[in-house]
Structure 1
């Protein structure tokens, strides 16, 4: 049985005060939750503070990006070894905002995936189609292409212990969300696509849903057989809303 993961992507939000206040709220709200792994990904500048604030809790630390280089003259970048050194466990790569605003290619994201695996960190590989691609019926082709960048360079075994986050770009921060049936269909396609290479890896890999997940739609999404938690944006900035999502994932696991 796969263990769901709910991860909060704080994006470009936060302050020293907010980090302490939000994590204190999460610790209170999630103190008795069992059956769902929880992680937060604050901005880089607050990672160390967040790590200290979550100490002795069940909340794991994540980061929002990584560079492909381990050291050297790469101003402004952060390496996998640095993230590991500071206590990160998960690292988000391939988020649509990185693909769009920073022109990150499938090939670059596959390189980041390899660097994270080598460092012993867990990649959270984001994949998903734009609204135009969805309208053109290209959802499966886009997801397959983005997965194949890793599968064809590293093989399916590299996905073992990793996380996939299906995030339809048209649903991120828009208030729109795929219906549970729509999301399940894509999650099943992703799992089946990986299974063509390695059925065991496909059966065990965590596939999160992301895209306007909130406290009102989480339970129905998590009831789907191939949805293993969520990568949460806006709702992760409110302890009560995020806690409801985590609790919904934990409850759904017990029901599956």
Structure 2
């Protein structure tokens, strides 16, 4: 059986009740025959709204973060158990913005992935190098270190995660890794996963650096690119649906 592609939208800190309603309804209506998996990862205040809007569709719900703690005096945090109550299937962990602005370490990201898995939520583990690291020839070192931390903590469960390779220099900048550059890193990550689990082939490895309607098809045609983590383009229904269509086409 061919592994499904996954197209996951990351709304980041965007949206409002009216705009969300129009966006989710348009996406749900436009993707009825989708052969790939599709999800939207929305800000926490909108989980209840989007849970209701997606009802009856194939659109999955995702969160943008999850606490490593089960419960307690952690003001502002959202636990995995809370997310499950809203039917959340995916949770982004370790996004470069969380690492950069909130000081999240490789070890913390690994713990968040473990907490998500323990509650039946699939973590979308983000890894990627900065422009300075790429120019210094450290891409392989950085991404392998970030993934190794998650493998170390999650052991035999590692085949249950989703990995998103997001070169930091390509996020929201309009710059995109070439399909060949992206494939090179994805193949590296697949090999690293293969050393940790015999089920590495079923792990979806997404590309997440300014994938859009124009470049999605060429990226998704690569052997080890199993989908995309989509930022800005996920806020525009026609663009998001075009990316889903590209994933459907590459699925066949």
TM range, normalised to the smaller chain?
over 0.9
In 1, are the aligned partners of 2:7 and 2:36 still within 8 Å (CA)? yes
- Which residue of 1 is the match for residue 195 of structure 2? 196
Shift in Å at residue 72 of structure 1? 1.1
In 1, are the aligned partners of 2:111 and 2:153 still within 8 Å (CA)? no
TM-score, length of structure 2 as denominator length:
0.98
- Which residue of 2 is the match for residue 19 of structure 1? 20
Over aligned residues, Cα RMSD in angstroms?
A: 0.8
Does residue 134 in structure 1 map to residue 137 in structure 2? no
- Which residue of 1 is the match for residue 103 of structure 2? 103
Question: Post-superposition, which runs of at least 4 consecutive aligned residues in structure 1 deviate over 4 A?
Answer: none
SS in structure 1 opposite 2:91?
strand
Distance of 1:202 and 1:160 partners within structure 2 = 6
Distance of 1:213 and 1:31 partners within structure 2 = 22
- Which residue of 1 is the match for residue 119 of structure 2? 119
1:155-166 counterparts in 2 under 5 A?
155=155, 157-166=156-165
- Which residue of 1 is the match for residue 216 of structure 2? 218
Shift in Å at residue 78 of structure 1? 0.4
Shift in Å at residue 201 of structure 1? 2.1
Distance of 1:123 and 1:67 partners within structure 2 = 12
Question: Deviation digits for residues 15-42 of structure 1, max 9, x if unmatched?
Answer: 0001101011112221232x20000011
Distance of 1:253 and 1:140 partners within structure 2 = 28
Shift in Å at residue 197 of structure 1? 2.0
Distance of 2:79 and 2:154 partners within structure 1 = 20
Distance of 1:196 and 1:243 partners within structure 2 = 35
- Which residue of 2 is the match for residue 73 of structure 1? 73
Question: Deviation digits for residues 96-140 of structure 1, max 9, x if unmatched?
Answer: 000000000001111101111111110000000000001011111
- Which residue of 2 is the match for residue 49 of structure 1? 49
Shift in Å at residue 151 of structure 1? 1.4
- Which residue of 1 is the match for residue 30 of structure 2? 29
Question: Deviation digits for residues 13-69 of structure 1, max 9, x if unmatched?
Answer: 000001101011112221232x20000011100000000000000000000001111
- Which residue of 1 is the match for residue 235 of structure 2? 237
TM-score, length of structure 1 as denominator length:
0.96
Distance of 2:191 and 2:59 partners within structure 1 = 30
Question: Deviation digits for residues 192-247 of structure 1, max 9, x if unmatched?
Answer: 0111222x321111000001100000000000010001000000000000000011
Give unpaired runs (5+ residues) of structure 2. none
Question: Deviation digits for residues 152-211 of structure 1, max 9, x if unmatched?
Answer: 2222x222221000000000000000000000000000000111222x321111000001
Give unpaired runs (5+ residues) of structure 1. none
Shift in Å at residue 83 of structure 1? 0.2
Distance of 1:154 and 1:214 partners within structure 2 = 32
